[in-house]
Amino acid sequence: MSRREQQRHYEENGLERSLVPVNAHSSIFHLVRGLDIPGARPREWLVRYVWKWKDEKKEEMALGYETLGSSEEYPANPRWAKVTCYCLWAFKRLKKVWRVDQTLVTVTMRVDLGGHISHIVERGLGVQELIGVSMMRQQFDKSLEVDGEVRAENMKMIAEHDAAYDDYEKACFSEGEQHFPRFEAMKAKSLKMASPLTRAKLAFKSGDRQGWGWATTSVRASPEEVLAWMLDVMKRCGQYADEVEKNVQLFNGGSGEASEAKLAVCKTGATRSSIPSV
């Protein structure tokens, strides 16, 4: 147990805590803590952990623990109420995501705190135990590593790209390229930007309801890295709660198209990035 966990245990009404190895695959865990309920005795957990591989290929693993009875090493203490519990954790190896390991973690447990405790309180404490799964997700978050692998792969693809473009793909560039000279020939409104190294303008053509925007800056990265970053941002932008999935599919190793899974709602004009990495 880390020093941080040890300190937190005693800050949260912890009285005793120890983990004694029995052998390489089994240990005895002893914990005593108060419930922060007036008049309630501290609760004692005394369980034996056992873990094992479930298959010869070592793709699945299980960790189980069950309550032990009192013994000479752990005699019954009348000041504490004994908790009975059973828990089983299952770990299944998943396919790697860009060379980063993935594991499916599932847990089931049953806890009886003993004594005269309200079932509402008991259920609440049981939910706290299940929060450990969420903490595990945060502890082993490797979003930065996955992002780095994806971006490096995209940079390599961009640098080596030599595929042909069809007429539709070529047309994607023609209109925008015609408007670049517009900002040199017509009056435009300059915008104040956060960085003094960035310039931006808005221009309107007589009769048009919509204006054109233009901005330029100097980025300390290669063109390949900048484009790879933009593809990464596009994959995450505009994700809403009613969308099932959004991704960028690469056609011929070149153009990207945002697509939604069935039942998802495509919403244009989104500017926020709110969904974390895998």
- Do 154 and 136 fall into the same domain? no
The whole domain housing 211 covers 145-260
Asked if residue 123 belongs to a domain, the reply is yes
| Top-confidence residue, 142 or 126 | 142
Same domain, 15 and 53: yes
> 277 lies in a domain?
no
Note whether 133 and 115 are same-domain residues. yes
Residue written as token pair 């005269």: 116
Q: What are phi and psi of 92, to 5 degrees?
A: -125, 125
The CA R_g of the chain, rounded to the nearest whole Å, is 29
Residue 175 shares a structural domain with residue 130: no
Question: Pick from 121, 140, 159: which residue ends a domain?
Answer: 140
Asked if residue 167 and residue 108 are part of one domain, the reply reads no
Averaged pLDDT for residues 49-62: 95
Q: Residues 158, 231: one domain?
A: yes
Q: Are residues 124 and 208 located together in one domain of the fold? A: no
Number of Cβ within 10 Å of residue 83's Cβ equals 20
| pLDDT at residue number 273 | 34
Number of domains in the chain: 2
Domain limit, last residue, from 140, 174, 207: 140
Q: Is residue 267 part of a domain?
A: no
Token code pair at residue 230: 């933009």
Of the pLDDT bands very low, low, confident and very high (cuts 50, 70, 90), residue 236 is low
Q: Is the pLDDT of residue 77 over 80?
A: yes
Mark whether 82 and 181 lie in a shared domain: no
Q: Which of 140, 158, 177 is the last residue of a domain?
A: 140
What tens digit of pLDDT does each residue of 82-115 get?
A: 888 889 999 999 998 878 899 999 998 888 887 7
pLDDT tens track for 247-272: 444 444 444 444 333 333 333 333 33
Please report, for the domain that includes residue 110, its CATH number: 3.30.530.20
Question: Are 226 and 123 in the same domain?
Answer: no
From CA 220, how far away is CA 123, in angstroms rounded? Answer: 54
45: helix, strand or coil: strand
SS3 174: helix
Euclidean distance between CA atoms 215 and 198, whole angstroms: 7
Average pLDDT value for residue range 19-23 = 93
* 239 and 122 in a common domain: no
Residue 180 has pLDDT above 80, yes or no: no
Confidence of residue 116 (pLDDT cuts 50, 70, 90): low
Q: What is the pLDDT of residue 93?
A: 95
55-59, 192-196, 201-205: least confident range: 201-205
Same domain, 129 and 150: no
256 shares a domain with 167: yes
